Structure 1
C-alpha cells in the first residue's frame, strides 16, 4: 500500500481577532500575526499582549498553531522596543503563548535567543534565503524553519527542501497573495515617496497606488530595440503601474508535498475577512483532496477567483510565468459578499453584519467550510432591521437579522450572492 502523501501545513494570515477566527474556522493549520508594531504591517493588523494571549487561547481550541512576527529590520533606535517585546513574550504563560517567532534580522535572532530562548525561530522571507549555504548558516544559528525567498523557481525550492532535510531545518513557501517588485519584500519605494519604510513596518504599498499616464507608453531598453520592457495604458488616466499580479500556486500543492516543503503560506494580514475565508477554504479543500489523490478542481479555482482583487499568476515559480486569471479579461462573474453571520438570535433568526448591497430577491450561498456552498433561494429567507421590521434591501455596514431555518447556518459563516 503506498505511503500517505505528505500534506504541508496551511499557514494563514490573522491581522485582527475576527480574521484570526475566520482563518481557523475555514481550516488553517496555523496562523501568523504580529504586535501593533515591529512586524512589517500597519498597527491596524496587530495584537497587543492581552489580545495575543486571547488569540493563542482561541487557536489552541482549534488545535492550531500561532506564529508571532518580529520581522522588522530595526535600526539602532529600534532595538530597545524589540528587547521589551521579547521580554513580554518570554513572560507569557505557555498555555497562552505563540508556538514560534518569525524573525528576519540577525540582530533580532540573537536577541530572541538570549531573551526568549523557549521559542523556536522561523526565518521570514525578508531574509531572502536563496541558496543551500544560506540555509545551512541559519540552521547553524538555531533557526527551526526558513521561509524561502519569493524569487525562487520550482527547481530552486526542491533543492532547498533537500538541503533543509540535510541540515535539520524546515522550509516554508508563499503560495498565494501579493507579490513584490523588491527583493523578498525589502522595498524602499515607500520610504522614498512618503518617508514610510516597509522594512520598519510602515509599508503603505505605493506599488499599488495609481499613477497618471498621460499617453500610452511602451518602454524600450536602449540596447534592445524592438523589445518592449514595460507597457502602461490607463483608460481613465491612472493605473497601478508597478503592481504585479497576485501569486497563485494552488495547482502545485501536491508537488510541494512531494519535495518536502513543511508549510504553505498565504499572504494577507491586511486583506478583508471575507477574502481570507474564501482563500483559506479553497486551499484547505485542495490540500484535503491530496489525501484522496485528487487535484484541485474547478470549484477551488472559482473560489479563488471570487476572492481575487488582482490577476492571479504563477510568479517566479514556473520558468515560463503563467497568468491564471485576469479579472478584466475573464468572462467569470465574481459574486460579491452579502454578509457574515455573527450569532444566533433565537427562533430561526441570526444576527448578520451586512458586507455589501443585499437584495432579498437574490439567492444566497452559505460558505460552509470544506468548500460546501448550500444555496438559499429567494423566499427561503428574509431580512429584518434592528426594529424587527421586514426589509428587502440592506447595505454594507448595516446590522440586520436573517430569518431562515437551514441546518448549515452557523455563527462565523459568510453569505455570498449567488
Structure 2
C-alpha cells in the first residue's frame, strides 16, 4: 500500500550537458540550469541557445521539464543584459536530432524539433516585472534568493504573478506547513539536499568583501569553506599537524554552554562552513503536505555526485509510492557522496536536529568510470574518472539503487593504446568488453569495498 498518494517532482541541478545527461539518466523529473548570463553560477559555463535546444530535446525524450535560472540580483547597468536574456528565453529552441547521441534520438519525431522552457527561476522583483512583460506565457518560479519566509511574502509573490515559490532554507517544518496552509493557491518547492549557506538564503557578502567576487551575481568563491586558524598562535603551541581536535566555543551571554563546536584538522579549522542539508528521511512529510517539488542543490557539483544523489531521492520517492521506505540504504549512499557532515538543517526543532558524518576520504567508494557509446555487442566506450584497478570488481550504478557487480574474470578493459590493461588512469578513455545485461549508456561504475 502506498505510503502517500502524492508524488512530488524531483528537481535536479544541471550545470552543463554532462550533468544534465546524468540527472536525466538517474530519474530527475525536472532540471534547473542557466544560460550564459545572470544565472547565479558564474563558475558554470552555462547553456548557449544551441545547447539549450539540445537540453530541451533530451529532457522531452525523458518526459522531464526544464527551468532556466535568471536569478542573479542585477545592478542598473545589467538590466539590458537581463532584457536580452528574457527575450531569447521567450522563444522556442530548436534541435536537430541527428546531432544527438543515438540513445537520445526519438525516431517518432521529425529531424528538427522545437521546444520551449517550462519555467523561469527569478529572485529579483525587477526581473520578475520584466519577465511578466516580456515572456508572460512562461511560468515564474521564485528562487531561494527571494527569501520567502512567511505567508505575506508568499502572497506578495503570488499576486505579482509567480506560480511557484522556493521556500527559504532557514524554515522549519512548522513554518513550511503554516505558509502552505495560509497561501494554498500557489506551488511550493523546498531544498532537500545539498550545500547550505552561512548567510540567509545565500545573500552573503563574504566573497565580495574578501575577494571582490559578489555571491549575488553568481561569483561566490566560498570563503566560508576555507580553513582558518588564530593568526597569533605560536607554531610550537598550535601543533599544526595534529588532526581531529574539537573545540567548544562559548558565547559571552551564555557562558558555560557551548554555542557550537569547531573541528580542527591538520592545524586548520572550518569556522564558517555549514553542514550539508539532507532531508531524505522526511520525504513522506513533504509528500503529505503537498510540496510540489523537492530540489537538490549542486549545479557546480560533478556529474557523478549529481547522479548518485538523484538516484537516492528518485528511489526514495518511488519507494513511498510502492509502500516501503529504506532510510538506512539511502543514508549509506548519501554519506558516501558527501564531503561534509550531513544535517537536517533547520527542518527539525533545535533540540531534535540530526547530523550524519560523511565517509572519510579513505573509506569513500570512488566512481571509476562512466559508460559512453556501445561500440558493438559487449563492447563499451568508457570515460575513466579515477584510478581503475581492472583486476578488482566494480559495481554498476543502475537506477533504482541497484548495484550489480562486474567481476574481473567476466570482463576485459582495453586502454587507449588497445592493450589489455590492469589499471587505467583518470582523464583517459578505455573500452570495456563485457556483456553484462545491466550495462547501458551514461551509467557510472564504482569501486567496491
Contact 1:18-1:273 within 8 A present in 2 as well:
yes
Q: Which residue pairs with 2:162 in the alignment?
A: 143
> CA offsets per residue over residues 346-403 of structure 1, 9 Å max, x none?
2411111111111122211001111111111221222111221101011111111111
**SS of the counterpart of 2:395?**
strand
Q: 1:323 to 1:3 in 2, by over 3 A?
A: closer
Contact 1:286-1:296 within 8 A present in 2 as well:
yes
Runs of at least 5 residues in structure 1 that lack an aligned partner in the other structure: none
Q: Which residue pairs with 1:235 in the alignment?
A: 265
> CA offsets per residue over residues 143-166 of structure 1, 9 Å max, x none?
00000011000011111222332x
Q: Which residue pairs with 1:256 in the alignment?
A: 286
Q: CA deviation at 1:142?
A: 0.8
Q: 1:211-250 to 2 correspondence within 5 Å?
A: 211-213=228-230, 214=233, 215=238, 218-250=248-280
**SS of the counterpart of 2:183?**
helix
Out of 313, 322, 327, the position equivalent to 2:358 is 327
**SS of the counterpart of 1:83?**
helix
- Does 2:124 match 1:105? yes
Out of 183, 187, 201, the position equivalent to 1:164 is 183
How far apart, in 1, do the equivalents of 2:194 and 2:434 lie? 35
**SS of the counterpart of 1:162?**
helix
Contact 1:175-1:249 within 8 A present in 2 as well:
yes
How far apart, in 1, do the equivalents of 2:159 and 2:54 lie? 34
Q: CA deviation at 1:295?
A: 1.8
> CA offsets per residue over residues 65-99 of structure 1, 9 Å max, x none?
00000111111111111001011112335932210
Q: 1:285-324 to 2 correspondence within 5 Å?
A: 285-320=315-350, 322-324=353-355
How far apart, in 1, do the equivalents of 2:174 and 2:316 lie? 22
How far apart, in 2, do the equivalents of 1:177 and 1:409 lie? 29
Q: 1:17-416 to 2 correspondence within 5 Å?
A: 17-93=17-93, 95-165=114-184, 168-213=185-230, 214=233, 215=238, 218-320=248-350, 322-327=353-358, 333-416=363-446
- Report the TM-score, using the length of structure 2 for normalisation: 0.88
How far apart, in 1, do the equivalents of 2:170 and 2:400 lie? 31
**SS of the counterpart of 1:379?**
helix
How far apart, in 1, do the equivalents of 2:255 and 2:355 lie? 30
How many pairs were matched up? 415
How far apart, in 2, do the equivalents of 1:302 and 1:2 lie? 24
Q: CA deviation at 1:44?
A: 2.4
How far apart, in 1, do the equivalents of 2:263 and 2:155 lie? 45
How far apart, in 2, do the equivalents of 1:308 and 1:364 lie? 20
> CA offsets per residue over residues 228-281 of structure 1, 9 Å max, x none?
334434232223321111100001111101011100000000001101110000
Deviates more, 1:222-231 or 1:356-365: 222-231
How far apart, in 2, do the equivalents of 1:239 and 1:115 lie? 48
> CA offsets per residue over residues 118-142 of structure 1, 9 Å max, x none?
1100000111111111111111111
Q: Which residue pairs with 2:99 in the alignment?
A: none
Deviates more, 1:172-181 or 1:91-100: 91-100
**SS of the counterpart of 1:300?**
helix
- Report the TM-score, using the length of structure 1 for normalisation: 0.95
**SS of the counterpart of 1:44?**
coil
Deviates more, 1:340-349 or 1:195-204: 340-349
How far apart, in 1, do the equivalents of 2:298 and 2:328 lie? 23
How far apart, in 1, do the equivalents of 2:45 and 2:338 lie? 20
Runs of at least 5 residues in structure 2 that lack an aligned partner in the other structure: 95-113, 239-244
Contact 1:36-1:43 within 8 A present in 2 as well:
no
How far apart, in 2, do the equivalents of 1:277 and 1:97 lie? 25
Deviates more, 1:76-85 or 1:88-97: 88-97
Contact 2:4-2:320 within 8 A present in 1 as well:
no
How far apart, in 2, do the equivalents of 1:400 and 1:328 lie? 29
Which runs of at least 4 in structure 1 moved beyond 6 Å after TM superposition?
none
